[in-house]
Structure 1
């Protein structure tokens, strides 16, 4: 799947600015950020600490409001949380007293989905993320990677059109992280959603995305947009290829060679 095939705008961020009071002054977390994301596109966001990645996600999730500008989903302004936007955080946010199956069913239960349908949908996504042998296990019995797979299954089960993922693999060891990246893309290839995936890992950003959005800090803004015009599925061959290395190097330099640059110095890519 290439970005040429992605045409219908799903998410539109239009001139979003977010400021917070800081003593007698204000701190600008986001400065006039504009970005369009196509339906079923997989976009990663990477940037230095303090660039507003999580602030942007919280605004799209409806957990925060912009100071200026607006965020739209399907041309409707975001005004609060919605089951259409599934959110997955670094901390798995599973209910420790519920089993894997009960955690995955939780959103369906609150939506009053009939028991038989609820069970069938939960089972489908539990199997999709490879946790069928642990469906009746409590979270404390699972590894970190398994807990995150449970969180992903729970998010998919309520059938959101958008997945917002805030460094979901950030606390995992390198090998588990690579395996979950491949698992996530496998799940996404079967159950397409629009994905905004925040990460601090450049390799992860390039491996997963149709496009990598590089942000600059103080104030947070879009610094670069890197197209990853490589078909799915992504394999180890791609990860070890010269093409991957070239894309990684471009993103790396965009992220880590911003010292001393101001907003006026930054390029203005069309996102």
Structure 2
């Protein structure tokens, strides 16, 4: 299986109060094409920094990240990025928000309209295609953001706490919807979350990070079959995996700086 994301001895150092803060300490991780990998760990362990380096939004202090075999030098259309903050243009409708990346890329009007409508339908927002973001619930805004990321047809989705601000029921529904879409399209997903249950439910592998400095301490193969249903979430195998990951994260949170 080919590798989509290759992170090789990536380090990131920030100046802090006259000293050097090591946010990432030689992180090495390979993510295969079509794999769903979740990254968990305590606050300050560098999860988002690592994702931003893969996205091309930050440059590493050492090592390198590669996507599709090519060094990451900046953002690119091969990577769709979805943040916890919905980052929608408030003056554009759902349809226009989803079309935005296609328009920037010079896709003809009829083609971008058709693609936007396809992905709006995919996330269940067809009735709201002409609505402005201010009229949407938090879950609907995030579905719009996901549709916008999908519309430009990236091979890789980089998701940083995309459901963190949502209520529990909406969060579970969007988790299930994300997996349904991933199962159809088989994009590669790198998913950062603080929620251990979410990580185990979604991912094929869960990467556990520790802080001070940010590093990988364990990688857990989930091994639960897809599709993941509510029965899977309530089963004993899920509970055992959740407890294993939670124990690894909790141990890191309890480690002194």
Compute the TM-score of the two structures, normalised by the length of structure 1: 0.93
Q: Is the 8 A contact 2:42 2:249 kept in 1?
A: yes
The CA RMSD over aligned residues, in Å, is: 0.9
How far 1:24 moved relative to its partner?
A: 2.4
Please say if 1:166 is aligned against 2:163.
no
1:23 is displaced (CA, Å) by 2.6
* Structure 1 Cα separation of the partners of residues 255 and 128 of structure 2: 50
Q: Given the alignment, which residue of 241, 250, 253 partners 1:256? A: 250
Structure 2 residue aligned with 1:11: 5
Q: CA deviation at 1:247?
A: 0.3
Residue 30 of structure 2: aligned partner? 36
Per-residue Cα deviation, 1:136-158 (whole angstroms, up to 9, x for no partner): 11111110000000000000000
- For residue 11 of structure 1, give the secondary structure of its aligned residue in structure 2: strand
- The answer to whether residue 70 in structure 2 is matched with residue 76 in structure 1 is yes
Matching residue of 1:57 = 51
Alignment of 1:61-210 (within 5 A): 61-210=55-204
Runs of 4+ displaced beyond 2 Å: 258-262
CA-to-partner distance for each residue in 1:177-200, whole Å, 9 max, x for gaps? Answer: 001100111111122210000000
Cα distance in structure 2, aligned partners of 1:147 and 1:119: 19
Distance (Å, rounded) in 2 between the aligned partners of 1:161 and 1:26? 35
Residue in structure 2 matched with residue 212 of structure 1 by the alignment = 206
The aligned length equals 256
The answer to whether the 8 A contact 2:224-2:238 is kept is no
Where structure 1 has 5 or more consecutive residues not aligned to the other structure, the ranges are: 1-6, 263-271
The answer for the alignment partner of 1:3 in structure 2 is: none
Structure 2 residue 234 is matched with structure 1 residue 247: no
- The 5 Å alignment of 1:226-245 reads 226-245=220-239
Equivalent residue number for residue 22 of structure 1: 16
**Deviation string for 1:56-114 (max 9, x for gaps)?**
01100101011000000111110001011110000000000100000000000011101
2: CA distance between counterparts of 1:188 and 1:209? 11
Q: TM-score, normalised by structure 2?
A: 0.98
Aligned equivalents of 1:260 and 1:183: distance in 2?
Answer: 36
Give the drift of 1:230. 1.8
